Structures are given as C-alpha cells and as structure tokens.
C-alpha cells in the first residue's frame, strides 16, 4: 500500500503554514512534504514534526528570484555559486529535519538560450550535490514540469529527466515521478512506470486536467497505486494537489489508505 505524504504547500492552505502540520496529522497522515522550509528556522519545523508525530519526506532547493521568473537556479550558467549555496543550505535543513529526499530545482531555459549549456550546468551542480549528500544517505530528486505549469523548465518529459539521471551517473540521484506532469506530457502511465522502475524514488499525484484530488479526471489512480505495489515501489506518494474546496472535505479518497 502506498505511503501517502500530505503536501503542505498545496493542502490545508485554509490554515497558516505552521498549523498545517497538526491538520495533516489529524487527517491521518504520517508523512509530509512541502516546497520550501527556508522561511522558518529548522528547529521550529523540527518541533512541529515531532509534536505531531510526522516525518518530513521531501522539500526543494530554493527557487531563486520567483518574481523575475526563476524556478530554481541550478541549471543557469554563471549561477553555480548560488546553486551550491542553495544545495548547502538544503543539506543543513535535510539533516536537521531528518529528511531523506531533496528535490533540486533546475530552472527555466529562456527561449533562444543555449539548452546544452544549461543541461551541462545542471549535471555539474547535481553531481556536486550528490557527492555532498551521499555520506548522509540523502537522495536527490530531479523533476520534469509540464509546460502548462512551468513553460520552458529544463525538463518537461519524464524521459528527459531519466536521461539526466543516467548522465549524472550517481547512485543517489533519482527521478521524482509526478503523474500530473507525466500525464500532461508523456501519457501511457503504466508503461511509463515500468520504464522508470528503479529510477524514481518519489511519486507525486493529482488529477488531470485540474490538479485536484486523485478521485476525478483522466488518471485512474486505483490502477496506478496497484501498479506501484506490483513493481515493489517502496517510496512515498506526495499528495501535491489543489483541493477542490476545503482540504478535509476532499479527503474521502484517503479513508481506505489510513
Ligand atoms: O510543481 C511541482 O510539481 C513540484 O513538485 C515542484 O516541487 C515545484 O515545481
Ligand atoms: Mg511535483
């Protein structure tokens, strides 16, 4: 049975961020993920996790200057120092929060820029991170984002991310398989899951096309969850969706998995 993690950046947004931990625990979650921890001291987040009996399973490196259109800097040529600073900070948080996975955000490649240069910059920066995280047993995750959500992100297809994982060639670097983006770009989700078997170490879910609860839309998540069990996937499944309304009211799909 999948181990579900509440995504506190998207779920329970009726509440201030720090109150979402308790809400997730009360709703029956044992695991949480969220985009960025950096607005809060790590000690404060650690207490929230402990108080509510939760394990943090994922967060991301810092996004850079979001107002200026950045969504990660690790692929941007000339920003290597910023990338390494973000990676070092992520490692500090991961150690303090005992978090087993960190997603390294690549960034956007503006049209007309030299794609190969961005790709190589990302490969170099992820290798830096992989070697720093390895002694601590922390996995690095790379994600493809569909153009509907983030146009011109370094990778849109799961297969582009898989190629990067192979080129980076470090045994603690994996694909973060977000089925919402995968359905938008690649489709054929059962075969895709087989093709990525052993190469992904975290999953995220949401309905397509509306990115709501996994009980509507064009993806049959009952089938996907059975597929993940069938291939022996033992990582977490992050609920990275925008609730249709009140978060708790939308959690009927989760009843059978508590
Ligand atoms: O947007 C997503 O799907 C994510 O998982 C990232 O963490 C942020 O882009
Ligand atoms: Mg995702």
* Predicted ipTM of the assembly: 0.97
Which residues are tagged catalytic? 143, 240
Mutate to test the pocket of ligand 1, among 86, 240, 241 (most ligand atoms within 8 A of CB): 240
Q: How many CB atoms lie within 10 A of CB 154?
A: 27
> In the chain, which residue ranges form alpha helices assigned H by DSSP?
20-26, 42-51, 80-97, 115-133, 158-168, 179-185, 189-196, 221-230
Q: Which two tokens stand for residue 131?
A: 């070697």
Residue 11 contacts residue 39 (beta carbons within 8 Å):
no
Report CA(145)–ligand 1 centroid distance (Å).
7
Q: How far apart are CA 34 and CA 154, in angstroms?
A: 21
Taking only the tens of pLDDT, the chain with its 258 residues reads: 899 999 999 999 999 999 999 999 999 999 999 999 999 999 999 999 999 999 999 999 999 999 999 999 999 999 999 999 999 999 999 999 999 999 999 999 999 999 999 999 999 999 999 999 999 999 999 999 999 999 999 999 999 999 999 999 999 999 999 999 999 999 999 999 999 999 999 999 999 999 999 999 999 999 999 999 999 999 999 999 999 999 999 999 999 998
Ligand 1 atom at minimum distance from 149 CA = 1
Domain positions in the chain are 3-257
Which of 57, 59, 60, 183 for a ligand 1 pocket mutation test, highest count of atoms within 8 Å of Cβ? 60
Using the 8-state DSSP alphabet, how is residue 139 labeled? E
Estimate to the nearest angstrom the gap between the alpha carbon of 185 and the chain centroid: 17
Distance CA 114, CA 119 (A): 9
| Distance from Cα 205 to the centre of ligand 2, integer Å | 8
CB 180 within 8 A of CB 240: yes
Tokens 């960034």 belong to 107
Instruction: Give the homologous superfamily in CATH for domain 3-257.
Output: Divalent-metal-dependent TIM barrel enzymes (3.20.20.150)
For residues 205 and 237, is the Cβ–Cβ distance under 8 A? yes
Atom of ligand 1 at shortest distance to CA of 180?
Answer: 3
> From the alpha carbon of 35, which atom of ligand 1 is closest?
7
In 3D space, the residue among 137, 130, 140, 54 whose CA is nearest the CA of residue 95 turns out to be 137
Give the residue, by CA position, lying nearest to ligand 1 atom 6: 35
- Nearest C-alpha to atom 8 of ligand 1 is from which residue? 35
Q: What ligand is nearest to the CA atom of residue 71?
A: 1
Counting DSSP H helices and E strands in the chain, the numbers are: 8, 8
pTM of the model: 0.97
Among 73, 31, 67, 35, which residue's Cα sits nearest to residue 52? 31
């Amino acid at each position: 049975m999948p181990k579900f993690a509440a995504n506190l950046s998207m779920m329970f947004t009726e509440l201030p961020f720090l109150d979402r931990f308790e809400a997730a625990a009360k709703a029956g979650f044992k695991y949480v993920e969220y985009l960025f921890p950096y607005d809060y001291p790590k000690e404060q987040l650690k207490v929230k996790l402990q108080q509510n009996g939760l394990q943090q399973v994922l967060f991301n490196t810092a996004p850079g200057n979001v107002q200026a259109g950045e969504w990660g800097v690790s692929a941007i040529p000339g920003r290597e120092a910023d990338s390494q600073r973000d990676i070092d900070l992520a490692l500090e948080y991961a150690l303090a929060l005992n978090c087993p996975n960190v997603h390294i955000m690549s960034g956007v490649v503006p049209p007309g820029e030299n794609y190969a240069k961005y790709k190589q910059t990302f490969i170099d920066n992820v290798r830096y991170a992989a070697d720093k995280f390895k002694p601590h047993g922390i996995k690095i995750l790379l994600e493809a984002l569909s153009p509907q959500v983030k146009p011109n992100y370094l990778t849109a297809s799961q297969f582009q991310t898989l190629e990067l994982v192979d080129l980076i060639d470090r045994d603690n670097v994996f694909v973060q398989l977000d089925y919402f983006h995968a359905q938008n770009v690649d489709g054929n989700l059962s075969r895709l899951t087989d093709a990525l078997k052993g190469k992904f170490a975290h999953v995220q879910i949401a309905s397509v096309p509306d990115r709501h609860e996994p009980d509507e839309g064009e993806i049959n998540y009952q089938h996907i969850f059975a597929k993940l069990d069938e291939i022996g996937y033992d990582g977490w499944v992050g609920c990275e969706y925008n609730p249709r309304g009140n978060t708790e009211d939308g959690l009927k799909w989760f009843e059978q998995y508590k």
